[in-house]
Structure 1
Amino acid sequence: MKKLIFKGAATALITPMTEDGKINYQVLQDLLEFQIQKKADAVVIAGTTGEVSTLSDEEHITLVEKAVRQVNGRIPVIAGAGSNNTAHAAWLSGECEKAGADALLHVTPYYNKASQQGLYLHFKACAQATSLPIILYNVPSRTGVNIFPATYKRLSEIDNIVACKEASGNFSQIAKTASLCKEDLTIYSGNDDLITSALALGAKGVISVLSNILPEETHNICYSYFNGDQEKSDNLQLKYLELIEGLFMDINPIPVKQAMRAMGYPVGGCRLPLCDMDPANAEKLYAILKSYGLINSGVKAGSITVHNAKNTGNILRYNI
């Protein structure tokens, strides 16, 4: 069996921004400390939720470097290194390795819509550019291309391709992949609403958006299952289902960033072309957050003024 990168819940971390749209590295440090305190099993830096498509190469590498320095080996730091340009993805892989990442996350090439052979050659080239373990990221709804089980099997035969983040939602396909690849490819859920279903097929955890705000609870969904209490795991999954749905009412990471601001985290907005939720959906999101006790009062659509935001941990809090 190839070595596990992590087991449990890895947080697909947002990238905090200042009011003028620059990366807020101080808040990044605070968020990382919060994640570690609250039992996150790993963090993904510069992934989809981290708005990687809007980062310059310099920002991308600096973000990874600063995250690695702050985490200091306490949990794995997984760096997004994907691109639809194979040469660029290979270069990013090497740069993220130099920056100290523990592993890489490689999304399928988007827009190009490569063939299965093209996907194999792309990921093989990326793997040859680094000694780090690689997690493949399959998210057809965003990229327009799907990794087939037979292609997963071929890719699993490459030594440092060790895992996949499966966000296809196709459980027949996931089961077939698990059957073909066995211990040569660790499967992680890429869907917060389907964690327990993926665990039942042998997944070793989730790469999660939910855990930006509830890292310990997301960890517990996984570890209740691992510890033999499937009923507790299922109940936690169902308990947070409405919140998960709220975090995907709009394009990720728009809702999670808006939720975090409402909770008192100074994470800023998204970079264009992503923008804040429309007022009607924002009100729905805030109502969900209130129902879970994550915010108390005073949050209104069109405003990020927070009154009596619920304290969710020891993270440094700011007034926004």
Structure 2
Amino acid sequence: MKWQGVFPAVTTKFTPHDELDLEAFKSNLEAQLEAGVSGIVLGGTLGEASTLEAEEKYALVRAAAGYVTGKVPVVINVAEQTTKAAIEAAQKAADNGASGLMMLPPMRYKADDKETVEFYKATAKSTELPIMIYNNPVDYKILVTLDMFESLAECENICAVKESTRDITNITRMINRFGDRFTILSGVDTLAMESIVMGAKGWVAGLVCAFPAETVAIYNLIQVGRIEEAREIYRWFMPLLELDIHPKLVQYIKLAEQETGLGTENVRAPRLTLAGDERAHVLQIIHAALANRPQLPDYKDLQA
């Protein structure tokens, strides 16, 4: 498995009756594959993981794995409160067809450095699936430090990091210390181009759910050194990308999916669909972007 390229953190599609909408889910996957993404990430923050029942998560894994049929890897997020539950989640992910895991540190309890490392190690040793550490201290209050990565390096299947510290210099520090031992993927849409230029090999993206072609085009253009072309698309994209760093990113991005014909705005309570001035404001951003959507170059077959 290569942790490289654009990995959409896809939304979970719901019917108006609050059931999984697997047809809408597969339709969005089709658009992602057509745009040229390199993998699929399920059950993250954007996937409303905290509201999903365990069986719903694995139904999504089975549906995604069955639909992509090996074209790209399917990664499921592991966000558990106990080590025992994380090990069980890793096993069930493998049983249901996942290609890899994205792992958050322990939920709710703010584990110290040693506890966090042991949580990751125990889970890694229980599975053969490759693991991407989700390093997001801003939202989840635990920073995986370079010293912690030094200890985690003994687990061969811990091989990537979703870099969401919001500190671009952390990419250079990781590379200076570990070389290519851990593959770095950008986890923040508004810092993605900067992160890739500084050495990130991939992008776990949010707005790709609604704008897959533009996202992959930026990534591919950077790979072949066509920086100015990538930058122009990125500048157009920025007002949309900023929707990904708001507490209501799920509602915002689902509304964008609806406006681009790639989903609906159905969310699971306690989230509610947008209304009033807030909805009008987000629609204004989306419609302004659609009115000025850039003409993309032939980006799919670019060779570095």
Question: TM-score scaled by structure 2?
Answer: 0.91
Count of aligned pairs: 293
1:154 Cα offset (Å): 1.8
CA distance in 1, matches of 2:270, 2:291: 28
State the percentage of identical aligned residues: 26
Q: Does 2:100 match 1:103?
A: yes
CA distance in 2, matches of 1:111, 1:138: 16
Instruction: Look up the equivalent residue of 1:159 and give its one-letter code.
Output: E
| Paired residue secondary structure (2:102) | strand
C-alpha contact 1:156 1:181 (8 A) present in aligned 2: no
| 2:122 aligned partner | 125
| 1:205 aligned partner | 202
Further displaced range: 26-35 or 183-192: 26-35
User: Which digits, 9 at most, give the CA deviation of each residue in 1:255-301, with x for residues without a partner?
Assistant: 10122223344434221222223422211111111112279xxxxxx
| Paired residue secondary structure (1:253) | helix
| Paired residue secondary structure (2:179) | helix
CA distance in 2, matches of 1:41, 1:60: 21
| 2:229 aligned partner | 232
C-alpha contact 2:26 2:67 (8 A) present in aligned 1: yes
| 1:192 aligned partner | 189
Q: Does 2:134 match 1:156?
A: no
* Change in CA separation of 1:10 and 1:185 when aligned onto 2, cut-off 3 Å: same
Instruction: Look up the equivalent residue of 2:43 and give its one-letter code.
Output: A
1:263 to 251, 257, 260: 260
| 1:136 aligned partner | 133
| 2:167 aligned partner | 170
Alignment root-mean-square deviation, CA: 1.9
Question: TM-score scaled by structure 1?
Answer: 0.86
User: Which digits, 9 at most, give the CA deviation of each residue in 1:179-217, with x for residues without a partner?
Assistant: 222111000000111112111221101100011011121
Q: Does 2:84 match 1:66?
A: no
Further displaced range: 269-278 or 40-49: 269-278
Q: Does 2:74 match 1:77?
A: yes
| Paired residue secondary structure (1:21) | coil
| Paired residue secondary structure (1:22) | coil
CA distance in 2, matches of 1:66, 1:116: 36
Q: Does 2:16 match 1:19?
A: yes
1:250 Cα offset (Å): 4.0
C-alpha contact 2:251 2:265 (8 A) present in aligned 1: no
CA distance in 2, matches of 1:174, 1:148: 12
C-alpha contact 2:254 2:263 (8 A) present in aligned 1: no
Instruction: Look up the equivalent residue of 2:177 and give its one-letter code.
Output: L
1:80 Cα offset (Å): 1.3
Instruction: Look up the equivalent residue of 1:106 and give its one-letter code.
Output: M
| 1:42 aligned partner | 39
C-alpha contact 1:150 1:177 (8 A) present in aligned 2: no
C-alpha contact 1:186 1:204 (8 A) present in aligned 2: yes
C-alpha contact 2:265 2:273 (8 A) present in aligned 1: no
Further displaced range: 12-21 or 154-163: 154-163
C-alpha contact 1:12 1:43 (8 A) present in aligned 2: yes
1:45 Cα offset (Å): 1.3
Further displaced range: 238-247 or 100-109: 238-247
1:77 Cα offset (Å): 0.9
1:30 Cα offset (Å): 1.1
C-alpha contact 2:41 2:75 (8 A) present in aligned 1: yes
2:216 to 216, 219, 222: 219
| 1:298 aligned partner | none
CA distance in 2, matches of 1:267, 1:88: 32
Q: Matches of residues 281-320 of structure 1 in structure 2 within 5 Å?
A: 281-293=278-290
| Paired residue secondary structure (1:293) | helix
Further displaced range: 223-232 or 186-195: 223-232
1:236 Cα offset (Å): 2.2
User: Which digits, 9 at most, give the CA deviation of each residue in 1:106-155, with x for residues without a partner?
Assistant: 01223211111111101101101210100010112221111111112221
| Paired residue secondary structure (1:206) | strand
List alignment gaps of at least 5 residues for structure 1: 296-320
* Change in CA separation of 1:124 and 1:294 when aligned onto 2, cut-off 3 Å: farther
| Paired residue secondary structure (1:49) | coil
| Paired residue secondary structure (1:183) | coil
Instruction: Look up the equivalent residue of 2:284 and give its one-letter code.
Output: A
